[in-house]
Structure 1
Amino acid sequence: MPDEPAENISGGDGGGGTAAAFDPSEADTRAEAVVDELGRMYWRKAYGGQDAFECLVRTILSQNTSDKASQPAHDALMDRYGGSGDLAAALADAEQSELAETISGAGLYNQKSEMIQGAAERIREEFGGADGFDAFVRDEDPATVRERLLDIHGVGPKTADCVLLFAGGRGGVFPVDTHVHRIARRMGLAPADADHEAVREHLERDVPAEKCGFGHTAMIQFGREYCTARKPACLDGPEACPLYDLCDRVGVDELDESVVDPAEAD
C-alpha cells in the first residue's frame, strides 16, 4: 500500500468542513476528553455540504487503499465524468472498462468500477439522479438513509457513515475505519474484542453529537502520527504520546516493547 500523506484528506485547511467552536467545559466521558484533546491538537470542524453521490464515489475509491492513491483516482474520475451535470447518470452510462482504467490508481479498480457503476444505476433509478440522492441524504431520517445506503452493493457501514457525515452533515455520526477501530480499543474506549460496529456504538454513545465528526478525522490523524499499528508512540516513553494519561494501552507492553491487537491481549 502506498504511504499515507502527512494529512488526511478531511483534515487541515484544505480538507473541507468549517472551523467550529465547542464548549470547553469538562468532558463527561473519557471518550469525550480524548476527542477534546484531539481537537486541540489538530482541528475542530463541522462537516457537511459535500455532494452526496460524489462523496459516496470518493469513499468507495478509498476502500482498502490510502488517500495518496485514492485522491488522484477521484480527481481523474471527476475530470472525465464530472462535467456532465449529473455524475450518477454519467457513471451509470459509462463504459466500465474505461471507468476502470480511469480509477486504476486506486487499486482493485475492476471491483470498484463495478461498485461505482452499480451504485450510479441504483441512484438514477431510485432517486432520479445525483440531485435527488443528495436531497435524500440531507433531509431524510439518518437511520433510513443509512439503511438504504447499506443496501447498495459495495457500501459498508464506514462508507455509509462517511456519506451521512460529510454530505449530510449529520451530528452524532462517528465513522470507524481501521485507525479508529484500533485506537478506540487500544485506549479502552471500547471493548478489546469489539468489531467496527460495536466501536461505533460506543463512540457515538460517549462523544457529544457535535464532536463526532472532527473526532473521526482527528483520530485518523492521531493514528498516523502517534498511535500506529506496529509502533505506538508510547513505546518511546510516556512523554512521547500526548494522550498517554487517557489511554489504557490494551495490547501494548511497554517493558517488552511489544504490540498485539487488543483482542489478542491477555
Structure 2
Amino acid sequence: MSDDPEPTVNISGGTDGGGVVATFDPATADSRAERVVDRLGGLYWQKTYGGQDAFTCLVRTILSQNTSDVASQPAHDALLERYEPSAESDADLATALADAEQSVLAGTISAAGLYNQKSRVLIATAEWVLESFGTAAAFDAFVKDEDPETVRETLLEVTGVGPKTADCVLLFAGGRGGVFPVDTHVHRIYRRLGVAPPDADHEEVRAILEREVPAAKCGFGHTATIQFGREYCSARTPACLEDPDACPMGDRCDQVGVFPDSSEVVDPADAPD
C-alpha cells in the first residue's frame, strides 16, 4: 500500500487534479446514502481498487489499527525495509514475519503505536497464513478468487483481525465491489449525517451502506468519506460548528450530536433524542 497511499489533501476528481473523470449524479441516486457518495464524487478522486498483495495489505491494515496514517505509514515502510525479502529470494514476507524476533519487530514498527501488541498479532497472522495456505502467494490467490463472504469469515477467525481489517483486504487486495469498510470516520459521519441510526454499531453502518450504495461506488465511498472526515467532518471540530456554509454536505446533514449554538460536539449515540 505504500506505493499508493491514501490522499492527505483534497484532490479533484478531474484529470487536472490528478484523478480520473467520474460520473456521480445525485439526481439519479436511489438512496440518501448514494446521494451522499455522489456529492463526495464532486470533491475527490476516484480510485482503482484491487491488485495489491493480500498479505502486505493485511499487514498494513493491522498496523493502521487505532492510529493515524501519519503514524502507521512510517512503521509500514520500516517493516518492509527490514523484512521484505529481495526479489531473488525464494522466501516471502509471511515467512520473514513468522520467523521474526518479537522484540525486534516491535521496535521496527514502534511509530505505529501499540507496537508490542501489533508485533505479536503480525507474527501470529504470518504463522496462520503459512499454516493455512503454505505461502503468501497462495493466500493472495484465496483473497482474490474465493467467494468474498468466505474470505471475510475466514479472516474474522484470525485473532487481531476485525471487520474493518477484513473488508480493507477484500477491497484493496481483492478489488471486490460492494465492500464498504467502516472505520471511525465512516462510523461517525454516516450517523452524524442521519443516514444510519445514532446508536448503530460499525456492522450496522456497514450493512446500511452496502445495501444502499451501489457496489461500484462502495470502495470510492469508503476512501472519500475518510477524506471528507479529515477535511470537514472531524470528530471534535466539524466545519459546520463555526460556519454552516463551510461544509459541502451541509444541506444533506442532520448534524446529529453537533450543536453550533453551544459549540458542543458529542458522539451521535450520546445526542439527546
Give TM-score scaled by structure 1 length.
0.92
**Cα pair 2:24 2:39 within 8 Å, conserved:** no
Match of 1:243 in 2: 249
Match of 1:4 in 2: none
Match of 1:73 in 2: 75
**How far apart are residue 171 of structure 1 and its match?**
0.5
Q: 2:267 aligns with which of 255, 261, 265?
A: 261
Match of 2:51 in 1: 49
Match of 1:233 in 2: 239
Match of 1:139 in 2: 145
Runs of 5+ unmatched residues, structure 2: 12-18
> Aligned equivalents of 1:73 and 1:208: distance in 2?
34
> Aligned equivalents of 1:21 and 1:134: distance in 2?
29
> Aligned equivalents of 2:64 and 2:268: distance in 1?
25
**Cα pair 2:79 2:108 within 8 Å, conserved:** yes
Match of 2:221 in 1: 215
1:155-174 deviation line (CA, Å, top 9, x unaligned): 00000000000000000111
Match of 1:94 in 2: 100
**How far apart are residue 238 of structure 1 and its match?**
2.3
Q: How well do the aligned residues superpose, as a CA RMSD in angstroms?
A: 1.6
> Aligned equivalents of 2:176 and 2:23: distance in 1?
16
| Paired amino acid for 1:43 | W
Runs of 5+ unmatched residues, structure 1: 1-7
Partner of 2:216: helix, strand, or coil?
helix
> Aligned equivalents of 1:183 and 1:264: distance in 2?
14
Which aligned pairs between 1:1-266 and structure 2 lie closer than 5 A?
9-11=5-7, 19=20, 21-22=22-23, 24=25, 26-84=28-86, 85-266=91-272
**How far apart are residue 93 of structure 1 and its match?**
1.1
Which has the higher relative contact order, 1 or 2, with Cα contacts under 8 A spaced 6 or more apart?
1
> Aligned equivalents of 1:222 and 1:239: distance in 2?
15
**How far apart are residue 10 of structure 1 and its match?**
2.3
> Aligned equivalents of 1:19 and 1:196: distance in 2?
30
Range with greater deviation from structure 2 (57-66 or 82-91): 82-91
Partner of 2:103: helix, strand, or coil?
helix
Partner of 1:45: helix, strand, or coil?
coil
> Aligned equivalents of 1:46 and 1:149: distance in 2?
23
Tell me how many residue pairs correspond in the alignment. 255
Match of 2:16 in 1: none
Partner of 2:245: helix, strand, or coil?
helix
Give TM-score scaled by structure 2 length.
0.89
1:25-79 deviation line (CA, Å, top 9, x unaligned): 6111111111111121011123111100000000000111111111011001101
